[in-house]
């Protein structure tokens, strides 16, 4: 592998991201003080360790890391678009992947933070309202940070010492305005929480998208969050819509394809299923035959191999066909 590659697709965790050079002047961000990346795996380590990225995917991931730009990953279902994010987080030890699944109702605010005013109002209305401080006395100042939780995007933009990995899944399902709204955040690398910026107290401790527990609260000063290391933002798309040119020119893009031949498919099956992949050549060939009649996904083949290995049936082909229905472009008799 060329020396400049930080992510190599080796699937072995290492500290290569520490070799990342300073960003281009136009992609430098001044957040701080630096926070440690939460410990733990990517959140889907089995898939990450079995993932086989293409050479093109490896090159484009590194381009996104160097340029501090979002990565737009397109391709048909089952090509590993989402798994790529977990594979990078696993190899470069970037902590748990922050996952933001997109729907048609998703807004930029959903990704940044959520504020729960009703619970705050209820707490204030209880007898002796407010929270006890460390001395046991009722706190005169309402701790608004208890009612604010950063979303996946908002958490990714905290000033971590290493870039977090943010997976924005199926962005083509979003409202037409969301990609343009994201552009502003991606360019600035920061955002404001108005509920905090209006307070007299300069600092509040809020929850993050990493879950509960004492370590999951971080300090926000002046209601402003700014990144130090721009996150690796992996946006997936099934190609269901076109994106504005202004959005595309600010992204590094990669198009993932289905495995091209039986040898590549067989290697994927072995990576995921190990010894269970023995004597699966007939199912690999059947998958390729059916692929000419419509869209199939690689995980359908994995399901078929696993089930046929355990099911006591005389006709493996018939069972496999039932487990591998066409996703689109189905033949008339399917």
273 plus 296 within the same structural domain: yes
Query: Locate tokens 């400049």: which residue?
Result: 4
Q: In this structure, are 285 and 214 located in the same domain?
A: no
3-state per-residue secondary structure call for the chain:
CCCCCCCCCCCCCCCHHHHCCCCCHHHCCCCCCCECCCCCCCCCHHHHHHCCCCHHHHHHHHHHHHHCCCEEEECCCCCCHHHHHHHHHHHCCCCCCEEEECCCCCCHHHHHEEECHHHHHHHHHCCCCCCECCCCCECCCCCHHHHEEECHHHHHCCCECCCCEEEEECHHHCCCCHHHHHHHHHHHCEEECHHHHCCCCCEEEEECCCCCCHHHEEEEECCEEECCCCCEEEEEECCCCCCCHHHHCCCEEEECCCCCCHHHHHHHHHHHHHHHHCCCHHHHHHHHHHHCCCECCHHHHHHHHHHHHHCCCCCHHHHHHHHCCCCECCCCCC
Structural domain contains residue 183: yes
Number of domains in the chain: 2
Based on the fold, state whether residues 286 and 163 are members of the same structural domain. Answer: no
Does the pTM surpass 0.85? The reply is yes
Residue 272 maps to a domain: yes
Query: What residues make up the domain containing 291?
Result: 262-323
Residues 37 and 119 in one domain: yes
Query: Are 246 and 177 found together in one domain?
Result: yes
Give the model confidence (pLDDT) of 232-264 as tens digits.
Answer: 999 999 888 899 999 999 999 999 998 878 998
Task: Specify whether 200 is located in the same domain as 229.
Answer: yes
pLDDT (tens, 9 = 90+) of the chain, 334 residues, equals 578 999 999 999 999 999 999 999 999 998 989 999 998 888 888 888 889 899 999 999 999 999 999 999 999 888 899 999 999 999 999 999 999 999 999 999 999 999 988 887 877 776 655 554 443 433 434 688 889 999 999 999 999 999 999 999 999 999 999 999 999 999 999 999 999 998 888 899 999 999 765 457 899 999 999 999 999 999 999 888 899 999 999 999 999 998 878 998 999 999 889 998 898 999 999 999 998 888 889 999 999 999 999 998 889 999 999 999 998 765 444 4
Task: Say whether the peptide bond before residue 163 is cis (omega within 30 degrees of 0).
Answer: no
Distance of CA 12 to the CA centre of its chain: 19
- Compute the distance between CA of residue 111 and CA of residue 290 in angstroms, rounded to an integer: 39
pLDDT tens-digit profile of 186-231? Answer: 999 999 999 999 888 889 999 999 976 545 789 999 999 999 999 9
Which of 238, 255, 272 is the endpoint of a domain? 255
246: CATH: 3.40.50.300
235 and 270 share one domain: no
Q: Is residue 51 part of a domain?
A: yes
Whether residue 158 is found in the same domain as residue 81: yes
Assess if residue 330 is contained within a domain: no
**Does residue 329 fall inside a structural domain?**
no
- Considering the domain architecture, whether residues 290 and 208 belong to the same structural domain is answered as no
Per-residue pLDDT, 258: 85
4 domain-assigned = no
Residue 331: CB partners within 8 Å, gap ≥ 6? 293, 294
Strands 190-192 and 224-226, bridge-based pairing: antiparallel
Same domain, 97 and 185: yes
- Residue 57: which of 179, 300, 232 has the closest Cα? 232
Is 2 inside a domain boundary? no
Final residue in a domain of this structure, among 255, 272, 304: 255
Q: Are 91 and 122 within 8 A, CB to CB? A: no
Same domain, yes or no, for 225 and 317? no
319 neighbors 288 (Cβ within 8 angstroms):
no
End residue of a domain, out of 202, 228, 255 = 255
Residue 146 falls within a domain, yes or no? yes
Same domain, 169 and 187: yes
């Amino acid at each position: 592998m060329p020396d400049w590659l930080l992510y190599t697709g080796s699937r072995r965790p290492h500290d290569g991201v520490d070799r990342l050079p300073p960003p281009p002047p136009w992609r430098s961000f001044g957040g701080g003080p630096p926070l440690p990346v939460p410990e733990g795996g990517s959140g889907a380590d089995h898939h990450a360790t079995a993932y086989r990225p293409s050479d093109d995917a490896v090159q484009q991931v590194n381009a996104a890391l160097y340029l501090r730009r979002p990565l737009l990953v397109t391709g048909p279902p089952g090509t590993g678009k989402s798994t790529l994010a977990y594979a990078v987080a696993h190899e470069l030890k970037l902590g748990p992947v922050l996952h933001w699944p997109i729907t048609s109702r998703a807004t930029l605010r959903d990704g940044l933070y959520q504020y729960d005013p009703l619970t705050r109002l209820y707490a204030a209305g209880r007898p002796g309202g407010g929270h006890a401080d460390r001395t046991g006395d009722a706190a005169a100042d309402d701790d608004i940070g208890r009612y604010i939780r950063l979303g996946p995007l908002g958490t990714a933009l905290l000033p971590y010492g290493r870039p977090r990995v943010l997976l924005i899944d199926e962005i083509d399902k979003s409202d037409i305005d969301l990609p343009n709204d994201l552009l502003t955040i991606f360019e600035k690398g920061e955002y404001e929480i108005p509920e905090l910026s209006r307070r007299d107290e300069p600092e509040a401790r809020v929850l993050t998208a990493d879950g509960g527990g004492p370590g999951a609260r971080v300090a926000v000063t002046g209601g402003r969050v700014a990144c130090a290391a721009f996150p690796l933002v992996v946006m997936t798309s099934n190609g269901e819509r076109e994106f504005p040119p202004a959005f595309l020119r600010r992204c590094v893009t990669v198009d993932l394809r289905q495995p091209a031949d039986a040898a590549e498919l067989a290697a994927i099956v072995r990576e995921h299923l190990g010894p269970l992949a023995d004597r699966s050549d007939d199912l690999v060939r059947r998958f390729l035959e059916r692929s000419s009649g419509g869209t199939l996904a690689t995980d359908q083949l994995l399901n078929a191999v696993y089930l046929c290995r355990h099911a006591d049936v005389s006709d493996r082909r018939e069972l496999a066909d039932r487990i591998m229905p066409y996703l689109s472009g189905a033949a008339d008799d399917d």
